């Protein structure tokens, strides 16, 4: 008979959930969902041993357990601390946590280059999101930023060591998903860097997954490099009959052109299935794939910008939102402006709507 799983009660940000014994605070918070789940830059539920490196998931334990209700004196890493019966945790309801997280972000950005405008990860970078939520304007750092010797990791993977936050996820992927790891973290302290000991290409069948797990733009896809901004591409779910992996991917398209292939990601930004290098780097033709439909992207993500799938038009009339009053003057923008043409359906344009699109439409 299967052993019965013992459920215990934990309260996070005043919401109580029942979770199996042995669950981490972070995983319990993810069961509640939304903002209650702390950000995680190094923890990855599919990688054994991950977590405990970045400290972005810090939370305050205001009650240890029913048996020992004393609060924990210091903030704890929620990805590495398991829940106890009756534990009470504060995440977004704690000022101490917000303050500490601001500090962590400041540290993560100490040596990080401000190259979002040219970084391929921009728009899907967890550090970029975290900086918007917790970052400070400007920097207090007065020293020269750290730089590294360039390492070539082969024809598919581009390494930008200055962007790395040493989360170790790529090392765990190489260890646990491929059959031979040839890269790791070399040196110590300030000199720690991701590299192969002797210049070597990362060429295992599944090594491309390091790109998907990297939370920043330190490891990017060379076949997509500088080709486009992610928010100008349209992600669609697709599959193919692949002998090596499950072949379930997301295609990032511009028109009919497949610019990039990645694993499918869940709401926490973690891949659902590891995909092989052939699917990721070699199958860039639309005919290689069976398209399933548009990928579900959070409407808060910049990637969903310009994709109006499932959009609901507001039903309120002007009077309803204006305290029952009619407007004194109502102008139709289209009657006085040539730019905003009502005949153009923005979501049907493959890519950004630029003046060229409008001018071409005008000539018709
Ligand atoms: S290269 Fe990316 S995945 Fe690897 S340790 Fe650095 S930040 Fe993490
Ligand atoms: S996610 Fe918990 S320490 Fe990084």
Is a pLDDT exceeding 70 seen at residue 311? no
| DSSP-assigned letters across all residues of 279-328 | IIII--SGGGSEEEEEPP--TTSGGGTT--TT-------HHHHTTTPPPS
pLDDT band at 313 (very low <50, low <70, confident <90, very high): low
Query: Could you report the per-residue pLDDT of 117-126, keeping only the tens digit for each?
Result: 999 999 999 9
Q: Which of 27, 40, 44 gets mutated to test ligand 2 (max ligand atoms within 8 A of its CB)?
A: 40
Count CA atoms closer than 13 A to 231's CA, side-chain side: 18
For 22-28, what is the mean pLDDT? 97
Which is nearest to 45 in space by CA: 26, 17, 32, 22? 26
Residue 307 predicted with pLDDT over 60 = yes
pLDDT at 278: 96
Q: How far apart are CA 143 and CA 274, in angstroms?
A: 40
More confidently predicted of 3 and 59: 59
- Residue 309 clears pLDDT 80, i.e. is over it: no
For 176-232, write each residue's pLDDT tens digit: 999 889 899 999 988 999 998 777 788 889 999 999 999 999 999 999 999 999 999
Does residue 212 or residue 337 have the better pLDDT?
212
Mean pLDDT of the chain: 89
Contact between 295 and 237 under an 8 Å Cβ cutoff? The reply is: yes
Rg (the chain; Cα; Å): 24
Q: Which residues pair with 252 in a beta bridge?
A: 235, 260
> Could you give the domains of the chain?
7-107 (3.10.20.740), 118-138+146-221 (3.30.70.20), 230-304 (no CATH), 318-363 (no CATH)
Tell me what pLDDT residue 317 has: 76
Q: What percent of the chain has pLDDT over 90?
A: 68
Which DSSP symbol is given to 194? E
Q: How many residues can be counted in the chain?
A: 364
Q: What is the pLDDT of residue 139?
A: 85
CB of 195 within 6 A of ligand 1: the answer is no
Q: How many whole angstroms from 239 Cα to the centroid of ligand 1?
A: 28
The pLDDT of residue 72 is 97
Instruction: Please tell me the number of the ligand nearest to residue 40's CA.
Output: 2
Tell me the whole-structure pTM to 2 decimals: 0.83
Sign of the dihedral through C-alpha 121, 125, 127, 129: positive
Whether 43 contacts 50, CB under 8 Å: yes
Distance 45 CA to ligand 2 centre (A): 11
Mean pLDDT of 131-148: 88
Q: Which atom of ligand 2 is nearest to the CA of 54?
A: 4
Report the distance separating Cα 47 and Cα 62, nearest Å: 29
Asked if pLDDT for residue 44 goes beyond 90, the answer is yes
Asked if residue 262 has pLDDT above 70, the reply is yes
Q: Which residues does 277 contact at the CB level (< 8 Å), separation at least 6? A: 156, 204, 205, 206, 207, 208
* Ligand 2 atom at minimal distance to the Cα of residue 52: 3
Q: Among 167, 193, 211, which is best to mutate for testing ligand 1, by the most ligand atoms less than 8 A from CB?
A: 167
Task: Determine the pLDDT at residue 356.
Answer: 75
Residue owning tokens 């491929």: 178
Q: Between the CA of residue 245 and those of 179, 262, 274, 280, 286, what are the distances in Å?
A: 15, 13, 7, 11, 19
Best mutation site among 170, 171, 221 for ligand 1, i.e. most ligand atoms within 8 A of its Cβ?
Answer: 170
Residues near ligand 2 with C-beta < 6 Å? 40-43, 51-57, 77, 79
State the distance from the centre of ligand 2 to the C-alpha of 55, rounded, in angstroms.
5
Integer Cα distance of 206 and 274 in angstroms:
7
Question: Is the pLDDT score of 353 beyond 70?
Answer: no
Sequence-distant (≥ 6) Cβ neighbours of residue 91 within 8 angstroms: 12, 13, 29, 35, 36, 37, 38, 59, 60, 78, 97
Q: Which residue has a Cα nearest atom 1 of ligand 2?
A: 40
The partner residues of 88 in beta bridges, in order of sequence, read 11, 63
- Report d(CA 126, CA 116) in Å as an integer: 12
- 279/288 Cα distance (integer angstroms): 9
Place of tokens 């049907």: 348
Q: Which of 83, 52, 82, 54 is nearest to 66 (CA)?
A: 83
Report the atom number in ligand 1 closest to the C-alpha of 165: 7
Give the pLDDT confidence of 79-110 residue by residue, as tens digits: 999 999 999 999 999 999 999 999 999 999 99
Check whether 308 has a pLDDT greater than 60.
no
What integer pLDDT is reported at residue 339 of this predicted model?
Answer: 62
């Amino acid at each position: 008979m299967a052993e019965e799983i013992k459920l215990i009660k934990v309260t996070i940000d005043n919401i109580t959930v029942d979770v199996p014994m042995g669950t981490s605070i972070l995983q319990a918070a993810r069961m509640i969902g939304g903002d209650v789940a702390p950000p995680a830059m190094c923890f990855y539920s599919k990688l054994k041993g991950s977590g405990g490196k970045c400290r972005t998931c810090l939370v305050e334990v205001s009650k240890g357990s029913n048996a020992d209700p004393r609060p924990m004196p210091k903030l704890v890493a929620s990805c590495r601390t398991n829940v106890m019966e009756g534990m009470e945790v504060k995440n977004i309801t704690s000022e101490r946590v917000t303050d500490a997280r601001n500090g962590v972000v400041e540290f993560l950005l100490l040596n990080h280059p401000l190259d979002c405008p040219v970084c391929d990860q921009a728009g899907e970078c967890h550090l970029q999101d975290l900086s918007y939520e917790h970052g400070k304007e400007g920097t207090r750092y007065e020293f020269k930023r750290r730089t590294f010797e360039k390492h070539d990791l082969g024809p598919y993977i581009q390494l930008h060591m200055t962007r790395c936050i040493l989360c170790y996820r790529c090392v765990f992927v190489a260890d646990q998903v491929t059959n031979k790891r040839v890269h790791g973290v070399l040196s110590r302290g300030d000199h720690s860097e991701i590299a192969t000991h002797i210049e070597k290409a990362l060429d295992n069948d599944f090594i491309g997954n390091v790109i998907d797990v990297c939370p920043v733009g330190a490891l990017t896809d060379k076949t997509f490099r500088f080709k486009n901004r992610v928010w100008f591409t349209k992600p669609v779910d697709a599959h193919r009959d692949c002998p090596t992996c499950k072949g379930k991917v997301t295609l990032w398209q511009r028109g009919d052109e497949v610019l990039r292939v990645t694993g499918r990601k869940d709401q926490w930004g973690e891949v659902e299935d590891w995909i092989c290098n052939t699917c990721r780097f070699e199958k860039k033709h639309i005919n290689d794939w069976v398209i399933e439909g548009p990928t579900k992207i959070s409407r808060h993500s910049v990637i969903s910008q310009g994709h109006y799938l499932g959009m609901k038009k507001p039903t309120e009339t002007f009077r309803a939102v204006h305290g029952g009053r009619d407007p004194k003057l109502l102008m139709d923008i289209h009657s006085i402006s040539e730019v905003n043409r009502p005949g153009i359906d923005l979501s049907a344009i493959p890519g950004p709507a630029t003046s060229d699109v409008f001018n071409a439409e005008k000539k018709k």
